[in-house]
Structure 1
Amino acid sequence: MQPDATSIEKAKRRSQHLVELPPLDRVQQVSTAMVGYIDKAGLKRGDRLPTERELMNALGVGRSTVREVLGRFQALGVVETKKGSGTYLLQQINASTVHMPLRMETANLRDVLLQTLEVRRGIEVEAGAMAALRRTDDDLKRIEQKLDVMERVHLAKGTSGKEDLAFHVAIYDATHNPLFGQILAQMREAFERFWDKPFDRPDFARRSFPFHRTLFCAIADQDSAGARNETLKILGIVEEDIKEMSK
């Protein structure tokens, strides 16, 4: 049986789509395309990814390429494959994410958190300083909006984890260097994945709450030294609470 004109045309379009990606960096480009696809689909940590066939059709690539990309993501700790169930997202990713796997031994949780905090301190303090120097008026409005929400939630509930993160992400964005947000988002995720145990106390780092407003004021004044100092105060309290709560 000879294929009809419609089938031939569909095959041509499919083959044209398949050759768009150069073979030398095909996997890297498909990796980027898959991250964009996952981001646009609104998938979050714990969600199941589409099937291999669905990914093949969506990305216009073959099964071996899809499996190679998923294998890379699995090695990086981005996804997890469960036999008979599917592939699940272990961390939320977007089109600008840098896949930086953070492997930490959890036998001594206190040491792990303090080591992570040491790295965060070096990057996060500099992000605050850069935000003070580079922020635009629009950046400042976004930071203040996030801060206002954080303060309302904190005063109502005594804790504001998600709102706190949103405030700091707005500061990272104000640096206009995407690496700050990409790296620190993964550092914070690695740090905060332990919050359920043993740090499920609502008063964790509560003493740092006032310094978020003073950090904002330093950024508003374009005072990079002040922004560094206020960020150090916040992280210093986090360190003190980790030591106190893990005694």
Structure 2
Amino acid sequence: MTAGFDSRPRISPLPPMDRARQVTDALATYIDQASLKAGDRLPAERELMAALAVGRSTIREVIRHFQALGVMETRKGSGTYLLKPITSATIHMPLSLETAHLRDGLLQTLEVRRGIEAEAAMVAARKRTPEDLVVIEEKLNEMERVHLAKGTSGPEDLQFHLAIYNATHNPLFRQLLEQMRGAFERFWDEPFDRPDFARRSFPFHRTLFNAIAAQDTEAARRETLKILDVVEEDIKEMSK
């Protein structure tokens, strides 16, 4: 079944506020009210842009969000399709953390990340496919290349970890960890303005990959914790 965008219910233009969040809510409500099912094609980008009075970049940001949730996929030359029915009540898992000091917030977040990231590494070690390994190693090789050239890895480090979360085949790992990282997005771009932040964790990324490749869950957990231990030590040391 393919739903036409001119059929009811209609989506109304949005007031100028948080566009991405509003588009997310509006599209989820439309999917629910129109009773779209798995396999149905969504309205094209241009139709969404016109109906919601937003730009292409906002629409694409929202589609990427839904893709990360595992409820949509975009097929080249064909469009975006619904993989799972959703409602506005099932797509958000907001996190809140009130703290007066960056250092305290980072350390509190790290306490939670330890449990989630260690588990994600173990699940990835169990469930990774040969295709997952190719992607993870590509990201690791790029991270190592940049690290050796510049002494820091920056965004390449994040891409390596995202590839591991994807290898769990459970979208909740990526969603939760991205939300926690997003809370401190500016910090993670240039931690303490120090290019050597967490540099000592660099060798453990390769040993983590080796553990996942060997499907050694305990080793994957251990190497993940080594990385996070270095992050914690540097947060404490560099925030003095």
Give percent identity, aligned residues only.
62
Partner Cα separation in structure 2 for residue 133 and residue 206 of structure 1: 28
Amino acid at match of 1:139: D
Structure 1 length normalisation: TM-score?
0.66
Matched, 1:30 2:41: no
2:191, 2:197 within 8 Å by CA — same for their partners in 1? no
1:214 to 199, 202, 207: 207
2:146 to 149, 153, 175: 153
- Where do 1:64-143 residues align within 5 Å? 93-97=65-69, 98-143=91-136
Partner Cα separation in structure 1 for residue 196 and residue 212 of structure 2: 26
1:190 to 183, 198, 220: 183
> Over aligned residues, Cα RMSD in angstroms?
3.6
* Runs of 4+ displaced beyond 6 Å: none
Residue by residue over 1:53-79, the C-alpha shift from the partner in whole angstroms, topping out at 9 and shown as x without a partner, is: 833489xxxxxxxxxxxxxxxxxxxx9
Amino acid at match of 2:178: A
Partner Cα separation in structure 1 for residue 142 and residue 9 of structure 2: 48
Residue by residue over 1:74-122, the C-alpha shift from the partner in whole angstroms, topping out at 9 and shown as x without a partner, is: xxxxx9xxxxxxxxx89x7343445333333352111100001111111
Partner Cα separation in structure 1 for residue 195 and residue 26 of structure 2: 47
Residue by residue over 1:189-229, the C-alpha shift from the partner in whole angstroms, topping out at 9 and shown as x without a partner, is: 22343246761210000000000000000001000000000
Counting matched residue pairs gives 190
Amino acid at match of 2:51: L
Structure 2 length normalisation: TM-score?
0.67
Partner Cα separation in structure 2 for residue 171 and residue 198 of structure 1: 22
1:231 to 205, 224, 229: 224
Structure 2 gap segments, 5+ residues each: 12-24, 35-40, 70-90
Alpha-carbon distance change, 194 to 200 in structure 1, aligned in 2, over 3 angstroms:
same
Partner Cα separation in structure 2 for residue 124 and residue 172 of structure 1: 8
1:203 to 196, 210, 224: 196
2:155 to 162, 186, 193: 162
Partner Cα separation in structure 2 for residue 126 and residue 172 of structure 1: 10
Alpha-carbon distance change, 136 to 14 in structure 1, aligned in 2, over 3 angstroms:
closer
2:68, 2:174 within 8 Å by CA — same for their partners in 1? no
State the shift of 1:181 in Å.
1.2
Equivalent residue of 2:187, what SS? coil
Structure 1 gap segments, 5+ residues each: 1-12, 42-49, 59-78, 80-88
Alpha-carbon distance change, 227 to 94 in structure 1, aligned in 2, over 3 angstroms:
same
Amino acid at match of 1:219: I
State the shift of 1:31 in Å.
7.5
